[in-house]
Amino acid sequence: MEQHEARPVPIIDAGRCTGCRLCVLVCPTAALMIRGGIAAVADAQACTYTGHCERICPQQAISRPFQIMFIHREGNSVKAIFYPTWQERAVFSAGGPQPQILAENEKLKLIIGSLEVGQKIPTHPEALAVYHFLQGTGWMIVDDERYPVSPGATVITPEGAKRGVEAETRLVFLATRIA
């Protein structure tokens, strides 16, 4: 079962905005408008997080909330992928964990793992990795040692160590495997 929450939209500081319209003109998806003399979000679902509005605003009146940002190089340019909420990317399945890839290059792979109550990822050897728990409670097993985990916990596992995850309650975590 997929889980979706309301998508965050650009935050506009009414105290800074002068209503110059630059952000409205530059937005490629018509997500912004001028209302009452200041910028406002016209269509929250239209926002694709291009960042044009934030960059063009002379008053620094616009910011975009996000929870995960993957900044990477493509040739000579730097690109950014925004994930406004991890909830949009967490996929729960009664059939077992279905990890979703959020970022990948030759040096790392970032996935979001989602486990229903009682589900497990069996221990398996893996590369150096960082696990960060976002929701739920459970256990991280590393080379037969069991460590309790809850939201905010970060676990770093050494290269080659066998690791697994068990969910006591609905559990979501980020795992970054580093080559």
Nearest distance in Å: CB 31, ligand SF4: 12
Shortest Cβ distance from residue 49 to ligand SF4 (Å)? 16
Please count the residues of this chain forming the interface with ligand SF4, following the rule CB under 6 A.
Answer: 15
Cβ pair 142, 155 in contact under 8 A: yes
Part in contact with ligand SF4 (CB under 6 A); list of ranges 53-61, 76-84, 97-105, 166-174: 53-61
Q: Is 62 in the site for ligand SF4 (CB under 6 A)?
A: yes
Min CB(29)–ligand SF4 separation in Å: 15
Q: Are 110 and 146 in contact (CB under 8 A)?
A: no
Contacts of 35 (CB under 8 A, 6+ apart): none
Choices 54-62, 84-92, 103-111, 166-174; region in contact with ligand SF4 by CB under 6 A: 54-62
Quickly count: other Cβ atoms within 10 Å of residue 91's Cβ.
16
Choices 56-64, 71-79, 97-105, 140-148; region in contact with ligand SF4 by CB under 6 A: 56-64
Please state, in angstroms and rounded to a whole number, the distance separating the CA atoms of residues 34 and 50.
19
> Exactly one of 9, 27, 61, 167 binds ligand SF4 (CB under 6 A); which one?
61
Q: Which is nearer to ligand SF4, 23 or 134 (CB)?
A: 23
Distances (CA, A) of 77 to 71, 72, 74, 80, 102: 10, 8, 5, 10, 20
Structure tokens at 156: 């770093």
Sole residue written with tokens 């912004």: 32
Query: Please, are residues 32 and 23 in contact by the beta-carbon 8 Å criterion?
Result: yes
Residue 45 CB, nearest approach to ligand SF4 (Å): 20
- Considering only residues 5 to 44 of the shown chain, the ones binding ligand SF4 according to CB under 6 A are 12, 17-23, 38-39
User: Footprint of ligand SF4 on this chain (CB under 6 A)?
Assistant: 12, 17-23, 38-39, 56-57, 59, 61-62
